[in-house]
Amino acid sequence: MPLSVPLEDNPLWFKDAVIYELHVKAFCDSNEDGYGDISGLIEKLDYVQDLGIDCLWLLPFYPSPLRDDGYDISDYRDIHRAYGTREEFQRLVREAHDRGIRIMTELVINHTSDQHPWFQTARRAPAGSPERNYYVWSDSDQKYAGTRIIFTDSEKSNWTWDPLAGAFYWHRFFHHQPDLNYDNPAVLEEMIATMYYWLDMGVDAMRLDAIPYLVEREGTNCENLPETHAIIKALRKALDHRYRNRVFLAEANQWPNDVREYFGDGDECHMAYHFPVMPRIFMAVHMEDRAPITDIMERTPAIPETCQWAIFLRNHDELTLEMVTDAERDYMYRSYAPDPIMRINVGIRRRLAPLLGNDRRRIDLLNNLLFSLPGTPIIYYGDEIGMGDNVHLSDRNGVRTPMQWSSGPCAGFSKAPASRLYAPVIDDPVYGYQAVNVESQLKDPSSLLNRMKAVIRVRRSYKVFGRGTMTFLYPANRKVLAYVRKLGDTSVLVVSNLSGDRQSAELDLPDYEGHKPVDILGAKQFPCVESKPYAVTLEPYAFFWLLLRSPRDRDAADQALREAD
Ligand code: BGC
């Protein structure tokens, strides 16, 4: 029986949440066909609950030719046969909600598959007709020439010639994914109807995929245009008109000032990924210097009270290097993708553990940043056990292999013969399922999985992590990253050693004189803060989360203890 936890009636639930991203296909196969499915995921909800997750983000599970792993949708209002049925999806939502877990799905609004009936109708419809105008057409492939190509490894142009239509169609991603035309009001109406369809089934949040590219205008780079923001505002209005406590997460891989605009005045998206901080976390650890992190966070504008950043280390895509300078990109490639096979488009197709050389201290350190920097953390499935990748699989499939549940056949993911799995399980000596799996880590008190659970538990008991302010301290030793998270009377000092050697630092904490730091992740004793700088020493890659307890709090706690005796 699951531990029943009612969902809180709280419009800001997402601020305190921990999100877990997964592909239904990759999680658990219940019907032995080699593909994970919704029923399999339902079987694993207790695992997700036990990990401490508040919201599951499900990658696209709609009918699709699967040439872009489901982001190429051919029917917005159904479920791919391999993954299950609408009834099973409704049961998933119910069962997740019973465990206090919300569900986030994908609203892929920028493009469809070329197999979508809208496109098939459009290409046959007369030029200029409403049906044709569901997509963006041109007689010339020179229009919007100022627009960059995103999938640089596979596409040479954002236009593809359609012989049936006798015209070029516009696509920001693969050529088999034509972009929808938001200058046609019917497209927005369809999208709103799609959104209502899933929200009516109880979906709590929607990730708005690839939203900077909704509208094109000559003479611009066709990204983040005011007309695009108008579309997002209209979607948000339609959301708020019918529902409470539902949330949009913006996928806008842009610089912080541009992403800021997707929050609007609190009338666009509730959340947006902080793309630029992610590669800089990896850079800071490799350089053993906090500057990449402090610089980008200082360049991050304030956001409305009702909004939130979403922070992640890895996801289902390449570790994108679009939001870094050329020099930083070179550095990242040299440091983290020395073999060209590890690179794709403008990024690196590797998972967290292999990126960090499977060094447990560095994995813990990066997770510490994920859980303590401002924003809502998102864990990519499998990274909580340190799964590896398979760079020999095509596209980004090497980071999308089956979840490793046990050392049994097919990693406990499926009872199908290994040859029928949608992708081979990771099987190398270091990251293979025999060595890295949930079952064995659950039994080992010091495993990565148990450590993750413990850190998530601590994070969930302090609202300061999701809602508090952040103030950097700048000790002379730049290998030490230190910040205070503060919400009301609660202050937590987070100190991290970004280097592989022991480090000392002196922290200026004038506002906390007389406070007693209490280690909320461990049991280490710390002296009181005095008028002089606070001295800390950290082992290689170590970090502390120190609750700064005021003398008044301490007296009250001592008094409570005496009374309890
Ligand atoms: C998704 C990718 C996908 C792309 C185009 C992105 O935002 O995260 O996985 O390939 O959209 O559909």
Share of the chain above pLDDT 90, in %: 96
pTM, entire model? 0.97
pLDDT for 449 equals 98
pLDDT for 368 equals 98
CB–CB of 154/177 below 8 Å?
no
The residue whose CB lies within 8 Å of the most ligand 1 atoms, and thus the one to mutate among 111, 171, 173, is 173
What is the C-alpha to C-alpha distance for residues 55 and 101, in angstroms, rounded to an integer?
Answer: 5
Distance 254 CA to ligand 1 centre (A): 14
What is the C-alpha to C-alpha distance for residues 52 and 465, in angstroms, rounded to an integer?
Answer: 15
What is the C-alpha to C-alpha distance for residues 300 and 349, in angstroms, rounded to an integer?
Answer: 26
The residue whose CB lies within 8 Å of the most ligand 1 atoms, and thus the one to mutate among 114, 174, 209, 249, is 209
Decide: 318 in ligand 1 pocket, CB within 6 A: no
CB–CB of 76/115 below 8 Å?
no
CB–CB of 409/382 below 8 Å?
no
pLDDT for 6 equals 84
pLDDT for 565 equals 62
Distance 109 CA to ligand 1 centre (A): 11
pLDDT for 564 equals 64
What is the C-alpha to C-alpha distance for residues 87 and 78, in angstroms, rounded to an integer?
Answer: 11
Residues of the chain with pLDDT under 50: none
Which ligand 1 atom lies nearest to the CA of residue 177?
12
Decide: 222 in ligand 1 pocket, CB within 6 A: no
Helix (H) or strand (E) holding 58: strand 55-58
Query: How many C-alpha atoms does 559 have within 13 Å on its Cβ side?
Result: 6
pLDDT for 557 equals 67
486 forms beta bridges with 469, 491
Which ligand 1 atom lies nearest to the CA of residue 317?
9
What is the C-alpha R_g of the chain?
24
What is the C-alpha to C-alpha distance for residues 268 and 250, in angstroms, rounded to an integer?
Answer: 9
**Which residues are known catalytic residues?**
209, 251
